[in-house]
Amino acid sequence: MPLLLTRKDVEKVLTMKDAIAAVEEGFRQLALGNVIMPQRTAIRISEHHGIHLGMPAYVGGEEGRGSLALKVVTVYPENQSKFGLPTTIGTLLLNDPRTGALVAIMDAGFLTAMRTGAVSGVATRYLAREDARSVGVFGAGVQARAQLMAMCEVRSIERALVCDPWIEGRDKFATELSERLSIPVEPTDDPRACVDNDIVVAASSSGEPIFEGSWLAPGTHINGIGSHSPNTRELDTVTIQRSKVVPDLAAACLVEAGDLIMPIKEGAITEDHIHASLGEVVAGLKPGRESDEEITLFKSVGLAVQDAATAAQVYDLARAAGVGVEIEI
């Protein structure tokens, strides 16, 4: 019978380390041609400033290790301030790829935050300097938390700053993450101070650039994950021009990522400015960081392969731990 996993169940079994391992393998299989992943369907609910997404994927590869999943997720940036609800709410169906049988229904809110943090962790592993020790985070929500957790998993981070206009949120973020990660995390209202770090994370809900690309020091690595529509951006054109750009998937970002689409429309860059998709770097088909002076940028719009790979990991961990409830449908 299918296993029902609540958010608390997923939180019990899924660590950032496990999520990073699952996502890294998923991207390797993607680059090797072992993933089937249609373009996600999107319904924009303009009057409520939300979006509804359907994200199916099959991850093949090693025999017996496949994953077949469909995630339905909504993103409503005003949820927290208006209703006290998470920005991202989702549910995932996991099927046995050998038979098509449903094996699990799981909450995908925590899973989405973790897999989004995990993919930035994978990108940081390949693109950030080995000696990166500080992080500046724009945003103080669930996604921003997962991002900083992932940075600390793949680099020996010693300090962090969080910048967000929501004062209460950034103060709470700083207090909670300082305790959880055992590093000093300081709130700031100075975006330039936030940029003055080895790694910069853009995880805001802004539709306009949140810092100036001219502020970036050589050797900085940037993870851009907050903006995921053609008409919004967190990163300005100068940032894109100065960076070695590695998106999660070039084809997806050229359709959905305003951070890249807008500079192309301006004539500031061409599609050739994109160095490689992340999977190509993970699989060793393209190089990652090649010098300590490079500014590197990982741009993510989120891919269903992340969900499918992470969900399979969650299911295995839950079965092993005896977590969840079997249900009859």
**Per-residue pLDDT reduced to its tens digit, 161-181:** 999 999 999 999 999 999 999
3-state secondary structure 35-60: EECCCCEEEEEHHHCEEEEEEEEEEC
Q: Give the per-residue pLDDT at 54.
A: 96
Q: Give the per-residue pLDDT at 64.
A: 56
The structure's pTM equals: 0.93
**Per-residue pLDDT reduced to its tens digit, 202-240:** 999 888 999 999 999 999 999 999 887 899 999 999 999
Asked whether residue 252 carries a pLDDT value surpassing 80, the answer given is: yes
What's the average model confidence in pLDDT over 286-314? 97
* Domain extent listing, the chain: 3-112+304-326, 128-299
Instruction: Tokens for 42, please give them.
Output: 């999107």
- Which numeric CATH code is attached to 3-112+304-326? 3.30.1780.10
Cβ–Cβ < 8 Å for 20, 150: yes
Strands (E), 60-215: 67-75, 88-95, 102-107, 134-138, 159-163, 185-188, 199-202
Per-residue CA distances from 118 to 34, 180, 211 (Å): 20, 17, 24
Mean pLDDT across the chain = 95
Per-residue CA distances from 112 to 35, 40, 237 (Å): 19, 15, 28
Residues with catalytic annotation? Answer: 71
Q: Give the per-residue pLDDT at 184.
A: 98
Rounded Cα–Cα distance for residues 59 and 69 (Å): 9
Q: pLDDT band for 39, please (50, 70, 90 cuts).
A: confident
Q: Give the per-residue pLDDT at 50.
A: 95
Q: Which CATH class is domain 128-299?
A: alpha beta
3 state SS of 328 = coil
What's the average model confidence in pLDDT over 260-288? 98
